[in-house]
Every structure is written in structure tokens, then in C-alpha cells.
Amino acid sequence: MATAFPALARTAAATLAAAWLAGCAATTEVLRASDESIPQKPAQTLVVAGVTQDDALRRDYEEVFVAQLQKAGLHGVGSNRLFSSTQGMTMSELRDRMHAATVVADAVVHVQLVTLTGTPVLSPDDIPAEQAPAHGEIAGVSVNINTPPGGAVRGTQYAVELQATVYELPSRKLLWTATTVTREANSLEAVARSHAKALIREMKKRGYLAKGK
């Protein structure tokens, strides 16, 4: 029996999306990357698929990524434009739907949450509490949130680890996988924007995306 693909942790993701704070810009680092195949040609148009069963979250993430592709002189299509919901779909079914998008794109990137760690942002005169973060797991995703008792907490900053997998269309050939961590993020938009910029830069450098501008 097919198992539904791992969903993003709704509680953690909702908290992340709601945290709109003034602060440092998020930064994304590529932790691991693997070149699997050589593409027939660099992609001009990329389908962006956020692997989550939260359709609103998926749409918001994909639209930010598509906007970054446009700024880079490339074309992007969010999977939300191809089908509105992924509720109940298996990973295999999701890939089939994405790979059927050859009429609009020549590659697809699947992006999935691996881990999320939250750290409180304290007031300048506050002293961080000496306690270990609380650990948990939601829908197979590790979630660590350290919320000290008391103190003037101004919000939360997150470290978000994501895994990206790129497939060529229409061959469905696996091209590239990469695991990244985005730090000092205080909103979903900050995560998506920083992550998209890093992936686009790496994919251009490795020849998976056209140079654009």
C-alpha cells in the first residue's frame, strides 16, 4: 500500500510563516550536493514543487522561488499552477504529476523540509535561559524549539534544512540533489528567498540552469 509523502510540520511551519521580525537577512549554505547526470541542455524553465500537504504553504513557497527565477532571467512555474492540492498524494504520484509538465518546463525541482530548529530572539538586556531545546517530531520531520521560561522574547529565528532534487524533463532523469541549511530566518518568505537564490546560483554554476542574466 502506498504511503503518503512526508508533510511539512504544519505547526512549526505556521509559526515560521507568522514570524515577521526586523533583523538580519537569512543566509543559505549548501551542505551536501551530488551531481547525478549531465543534462541534455541547461533548463530555461523550471517547475518548482514544494513537497508539503499544506497547500497554502506550498503556494507561498513556490511563488517566492518563481519570483527569484524571474529576477535571474529564467522562467518558473509553481506546481500550484498545475494542480491546486496535493492532499493524499504519494511521492510517486507527485513525481508523475510533475514529470507530466513537459509542456511548460524542461526540468523540475522537488523541495522538502528535513529539519527545523527554532531559537528565541531575546531583548538586549535579557539573559538566555540555560536549558536544552525541546525535541519533537511531526509527520516524520524533526522539530527543535527552545523557548526559555519568562524573559522578554521578541520572536524566534530558525535554521531550516531543506533537500532539493532536480529531474530533467521529459526524460525524468535525476540530475542533481542538494541539502541546504538556511540560518537567521525569521519568516517563510526569508527562507524561500534565500534558499531559491542559493539553489539558482549553484544550478547555474553546475550547468543545470541556463545563465539567464
* pLDDT tens, position by position, 143-168: 554 444 444 445 566 788 999 999 99
The domain ranges of the chain are 10-20+41-122+134-205
Q: What is the CATH number of domain 10-20+41-122+134-205?
A: 3.40.50
Average pLDDT on 165-186 reads 88
- Span 63-91, pLDDT tens digits: 999 999 999 999 999 988 888 887 777 77
Average pLDDT on 32-54 reads 89
pLDDT score for 142: 52
Q: What's the predicted TM-score (pTM) here? A: 0.74
Residue 57 has a CB neighbour count (10 Å cut-off) of 20
Q: Model confidence at 10, in pLDDT bands (50, 70, 90)?
A: very low
pLDDT score for 156: 65
